[in-house]
C-alpha cells in the first residue's frame, strides 16, 4: 500500500492578522518538512483567523485573504517547500457571485486550499454551514457543491471542513462514492466540556462511512469568548485511533499512514444523503507511490481529566484575550472569597504572577480574615498586592446622598461594590491593566451581581463556571500543586468558608439564594437544557423554587447583556449561545 507521512499543525492564530497567520503557516510547514512530512494540514480559516464574523463581508478582507493564499503558495516554493503539499483554510467567494435575496453580498465561502509546487491546485468550499449555538455561518457564507479529489503520491485525498463531519450525508458520502483513501478535515471547533470524546467518536463513525482514513486537525487558543482545544487526531477506517495531539497546546502531530492505492477515475455529479448533490473533480499531482520508507509510530496523547481540561480552557481563553488585545498586565479585586481566588490563580497561570495585580478593598463590613486570606493568597503566588480601604469613599458618597433622603437596602450595599469598580477602573486607566471581573455563572444567571460594581471590567474568566464548579476547580488546582511539589495557591480557609458578598452585617449568599448545589442543578435544566416551568416541576423541583429562580434569571437579562466576555466552557454560555430579548413579557408558567 502507498505510504504518506501526514502532519497536523495544531496552531493558534489571530482573527484579522492575515500576515502573521500566513507567516505562522509557512513556519510550521518548514517544521513539518523537517520531520519529513509529505502533506501538512492546517485548521479552518487559518489565514484569516476564526471566526472573523462580519469581517468576511468586507471586500478588502476577502481580497487580503485571497492575496495571502497566492503569496503563501509562491513563498513556500521559493523557500524550497514546493514539494510539500499543504491544506490550509482561508476566506474566498464564489467564482461568479450572484446577488440574491437571503445571500450575503459577495457570496463569501469558508474554503480550504490544496497547495503544491507554488500554486493552488484545488479549492474546496464548506458544504454544511452551521447555524446554531455560537455559529452564524448562514449569515456569512454560501455552501460549496464541489468535491475536488487530489491524487498525491498515488493516494486520493479529499478535503472537508468542520461541520461537514457533524451532518449526515454531504461530503462524507461523496468521499465514499469517489473512493478516496484519505479525508483531510480542517476544523475550528470550539471547546465544550466532554466535546473531545464526542469528536473522536464522530471521526471514527465518519471514517467508517467514507471507508477511508480520516485526519482531523483543529486549532488551539482563544478568540473572544471561544476557546479552541486542539485535540487533533487521525483515525483509520476500522475505527483505530492512530494518533492524537495534546489538548490546549500548539503541536505538530506527525503520523505515517499506509493508504489504499488510488484506482478510481470517475468524475461528475454525486447525489448524497443530505438531499443535495456534489460534483467530484479530480486533480493529479503525482501518480506513483513513494519509495518504501521506515514508518514512525503515531503518538497518542493522554487525555486531560474533566477539571484539568476546564481549567486549561479558562487559562487559555484568559491568556489569549490578554495577549491578543495587547495588554501585558491585569488587575482584579481580591476579596478573600473563592471566586476572586480562583480568578487570581487562573490569571497567574495564564500570564505569569508578576503580571497580575490584586487589590484588597475592605469596607466597614469586611471581616479581618477576608483581608488576611487575600493577602496570603497573593503572597503564595507572588502577585502584586495593594490594600485600598474604601470605607472613607463610601462614607463620602453616603454624605452626598444624605440631603436627598440617603441610600438604603440594596442601594447602600451596591454603593460599596461600585466604589470598588471605580477603584479598579482608575487603576486600569493609570497603569494600563486589563480589569478582570470575578463573577461566576450562578451569580450571573440570577442577577446576583452589581452593575458598574463587581461587573465592571474587560474580561470575565469564570463567567461560564457555575459556583459548584468553582469550588471543584479550586480544589483541583490545589491538588495539582501538591502533585508538583508546590505550595497550594489557594488557602484552604478560602475554599472552606461560607460564601458572602460582605455588603451587610453577617451577610451570606445563602440568605438570598438557594443552596448552590440545588441552584446549579436547576440552572442547568433551565438555562442549558431550555426546560420550561412545568418540565422543571415534573423533574421534582418545588414549585416555589422553580418560580423564584426563573424570575431571577429572566429579570437579569439586561445585566448579562452588559457583562464582559468570558471563556465558553459549557454547551450554552451567556453570550453567543443564548440570545434572548431584554424586553420580553414572556414568563414561564403562564399562557
Could you tell me the CATH number of the domain that includes residue 12?
3.60.110.10
Tell me, yes or no, if 200 is annotated catalytic. Answer: no
Tell me, yes or no, if 162 is annotated catalytic. Answer: yes
Full domain range(s) for residue 192: 3-284
Catalytic residue among 107, 137, 162, 568, which?
162
Give every CB contact of residue 306 below 8 A, 6+ residues apart in sequence: 193, 194
Number of domains in the chain: 2
Helix, strand, or coil (residue 386): strand
94 with 193, same domain? yes
Which residue among 452, 484, 506 closes a domain? 506
Looking at the DSSP assignment, which residues form a beta bridge with residue 226? 223
pTM confidence score = 0.93
442 with 481, same domain? yes
Catalytic residue among 107, 126, 467, 572, which?
126
Helix (H) / strand (E) element for 9: namely: strand 3-10
Q: Which three cell numbers, joined as nine digits, stand for 184? A: 483531510
Helix, strand, or coil (residue 437): coil
110 with 234, same domain? yes
Q: Which three cell numbers, joined as nine digits, stand for 430? A: 493609570
**Residue 117 within a domain:** yes
Q: Per-residue pLDDT for the chain (591 aa), expressed as one digit of tens each?
A: 899 999 999 999 999 999 999 999 999 999 999 999 999 999 999 999 999 999 998 999 999 999 999 999 999 999 999 999 999 999 999 877 665 666 766 789 999 999 999 999 999 999 988 887 778 887 888 899 899 999 999 999 999 999 889 888 889 999 998 899 999 999 999 999 988 778 889 999 999 999 999 999 999 999 999 999 999 999 999 999 999 999 999 999 999 999 999 887 888 888 877 778 888 999 999 989 999 998 988 899 999 999 999 999 999 999 999 999 999 999 999 998 999 999 999 999 999 999 999 999 988 866 777 889 999 999 999 999 999 999 999 899 989 988 888 888 888 888 989 999 999 999 999 999 999 999 999 999 999 999 999 999 999 999 999 999 999 999 999 999 999 999 999 999 999 987 766 565 666 777 788 999 999 999 999 999 999 999 999 999 999 999 999 999 999 999 999 999 999 999 889 888 888 888 888 888 776
Give every CB contact of residue 221 below 8 A, 6+ residues apart in sequence: 12, 13, 227, 228, 316, 320
**Residue 267 within a domain:** yes
CB 322 within 8 A of CB 332: no
What per-residue confidence (pLDDT) applies to 158? 96
Give every CB contact of residue 468 below 8 A, 6+ residues apart in sequence: 442, 516, 517, 520
192 with 339, same domain? no
Give every CB contact of residue 268 below 8 A, 6+ residues apart in sequence: 279, 280
Which residue among 489, 506, 523 closes a domain? 506
**Residue 18 within a domain:** yes
CB 314 within 8 A of CB 567: yes
CA 90 to chain centre: 19
369 with 256, same domain? no
What per-residue confidence (pLDDT) applies to 105? 64
CB 525 within 8 A of CB 531: yes
What per-residue confidence (pLDDT) applies to 98? 61
329 with 258, same domain? no
Looking at the DSSP assignment, which residues form a beta bridge with residue 272? none
Helix pair 409-431, 391-402: axis angle to 10 deg: 130
**Residue 417 within a domain:** yes
**Residue 388 within a domain:** yes
What per-residue confidence (pLDDT) applies to 68? 97
337 with 265, same domain? no
**Residue 545 within a domain:** no
**Residue 48 within a domain:** yes
**Residue 367 within a domain:** yes
Question: What are the E-state strand segments in 188-310?
Answer: 213-218, 220-223, 226-229, 233-235, 241-244, 251-258, 268-271, 277-284
Helix, strand, or coil (residue 440): coil
Q: What strands lie across the sheet with 119-125, from one edge to the other?
A: 119-125, 108-116, 85-93, 39-41, 3-10, 251-258
200-233 b/e (C-beta count within 10 Å ≥ 16 → b) = bebbbbbbbbbebbbbbbbbbbbbbbbbbbbbbb
Tell me, yes or no, if 44 is annotated catalytic. Answer: yes
Q: Which three cell numbers, joined as nine digits, stand for 471? A: 469550588
Exposed / middle / buried, residue 585 (Cβ in 10 Å: 0-12, 13-18, 19+): exposed
| Angstrom distance (rounded) from CA 34 to CA 27 | 11
CA 200 to chain centre: 18
Catalytic residue among 44, 163, 192, 375, which?
44
277 with 397, same domain? no
99 with 162, same domain? yes
**CA-wise closest residue to 552 among 496, 513, 494, 497:** 513
CB 377 within 8 A of CB 346: no
241 with 348, same domain? no
| Angstrom distance (rounded) from CA 316 to CA 313 | 5
397 with 502, same domain? yes
264 with 396, same domain? no
CATH number at 462 reads: 3.40.50.620
**CA-wise closest residue to 254 among 213, 290, 298:** 298
- Dihedral pair phi/psi, residue 333, rounded to 5°: -80, 130
Which residue among 463, 486, 506 closes a domain? 506
Amino acid at each position: 500500500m502507498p505510504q504518506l507521512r501526514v502532519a497536523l499543525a495544531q496552531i493558534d492564530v489571530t482573527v484579522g492578522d492575515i500576515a502573521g497567520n500566513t507567516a505562522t503557516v509557512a513556519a510550521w510547514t518548514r517544521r513539518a518538512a523537517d520531520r519529513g512530512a509529505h502533506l501538512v494540514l492546517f485548521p479552518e480559516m487559518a489565514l484569516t483567523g476564526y471566526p472573523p464574523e462580519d469581517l468576511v463581508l468586507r471586500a478588502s478582507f476577502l481580497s487580503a485573504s485571497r492575496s495571502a493564499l497566492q503569496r503563501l503558495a509562491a513563498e513556500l516554493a521559493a523557500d524550497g517547500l514546493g514539494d510539500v503539499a499543504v491544506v490550509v483554510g482561508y476566506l474566498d467567494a464564489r467564482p461568479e457571485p450572484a446577488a440574491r435575496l437571503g445571500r450575503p453580498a459577495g457570496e463569501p465561502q469558508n474554503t480550504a486550499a490544496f497547495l503544491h509546487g507554488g500554486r493552488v491546485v484545488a479549492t474546496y468550499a464548506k458544504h454544511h454551514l452551521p447555524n446554531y449555538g455560537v455559529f452564524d455561518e448562514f449569515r456569512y457564507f454560501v455552501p460549496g457543491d464541489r468535491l475536488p479529489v487530489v491524487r498525491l503520491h498515488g493516494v486520493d485525498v479529499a478535503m472537508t471542513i468542520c461541520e461537514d463531519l457533524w451532518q449526515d450525508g454531504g461530503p462524507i458520502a461523496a468521499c465514499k462514492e469517489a473512493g478516496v483513501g484519505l479525508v483531510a478535515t480542517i476544523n475550528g471547533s470550539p471547546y465544550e466540556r466532554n466535546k473531545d470524546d464526542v469528536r473522536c467518536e464522530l471521526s471514527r463513525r465518519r471514517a467508517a462511512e467514507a471507508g477511508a482514513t480520516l485526519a482531523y486537525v483543529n486549532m488551539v487558543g482563544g478568540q473572544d469568548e471561544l476557546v479552541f482545544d486542539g485535540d487533533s487526531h487521525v483515525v483509520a477506517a476500522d475505527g483505530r485511533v492512530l494518533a492524537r495531539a495534546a489538548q490546549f497546546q500548539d503541536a505538530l502531530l506527525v503520523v505515517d499512514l499506509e493508504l489504499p492505492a488510488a484506482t478510481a477515475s470517475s468524475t461528475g455529479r454525486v447525489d448524497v444523503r443530505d438531499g443535495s448533490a456534489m460534483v467530484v473533480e479530480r486533480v493529479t499531482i503525482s501518480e506513483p507511490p513513494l519509495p518504501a520508507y521506515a514508518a514512525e509510530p503515531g503518538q497518542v496523547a493522554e487525555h486531560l481529566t474533566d477539571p484539568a481540561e476546564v481549567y486549561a480552557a479558562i487559562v487559555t481563553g484568559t491568556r489569549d484575550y490578554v495577549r491578543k488585545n495587547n495588554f501585558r498586565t491585569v488587575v482584579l479585586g481580591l476579596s478573600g472569597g473563592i471566586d476572586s481566588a480562583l480568578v487570581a490563580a487562573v490569571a497567574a497561570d495564564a500570564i505569569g504572577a508578576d503580571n497580575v495585580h490584586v487589590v484588597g478593598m475592605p469596607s466597614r463590613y469586611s471581616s479581618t480574615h477576608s483581608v488576611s486570606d487575600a493577602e496570603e493568597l497573593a503572597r503564595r503566588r507572588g502577585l502584586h498586592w495593594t490594600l485600598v480601604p474604601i470605607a472613607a469613599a463610601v462614607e463620602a458618597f453616603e454624605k452626598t446622598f444624605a440631603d436627598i433622603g440617603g441610600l438604603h437596602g440594596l442601594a447602600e450595599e451596591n454603593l460599596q461594590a461600585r466604589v470598588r469598580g471605580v477603584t479598579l477602573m482608575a487603576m486600569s486607566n493609570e497603569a494600563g491593566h486589563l480589569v478582570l471581573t470575578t463573577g461566576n455563572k450562578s451569580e450571573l444567571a440570577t442577577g446576583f451581581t452589581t452593575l458598574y460594581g463587581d461587573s465592571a471590567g474587560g474580561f470575565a474568566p469564570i463567567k461560564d463556571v457555575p459556583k459548584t464548579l468553582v469550588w471543584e476547580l479550586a480544589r483541583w488546582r490545589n491538588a495539582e500543586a501538591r502533585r508538583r511539589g508546590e505550595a497550594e495557591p489557594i488557602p484552604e480557609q478560602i475554599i472552606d468558608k461560607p460564601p458572602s458578598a460582605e455588603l451587610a452585617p453577617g451577610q451570606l449568599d445563602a440568605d438570598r439564594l438557594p443552596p448552590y448545589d440545588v441552584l446549579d442543578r436547576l440552572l442547568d435544566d433551565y438555562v442549558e437544557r431550555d426546560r420550561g416551568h412545568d418540565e422543571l416541576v415534573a423533574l421534582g423541583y418545588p414549585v416555589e423554587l422553580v418560580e423564584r429562580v426563573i424570575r431571577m434569571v429572566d429579570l437579569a437579562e439586561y445585566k448579562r447583556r452588559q457583562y464582559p466576555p468570558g471563556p465558553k466552557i459549557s454547551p450554552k454560555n451567556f453570550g453567543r449561545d443564548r440570545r434572548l430579548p431584554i424586553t420580553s413579557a414572556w414568563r414561564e408558567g403562564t399562557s
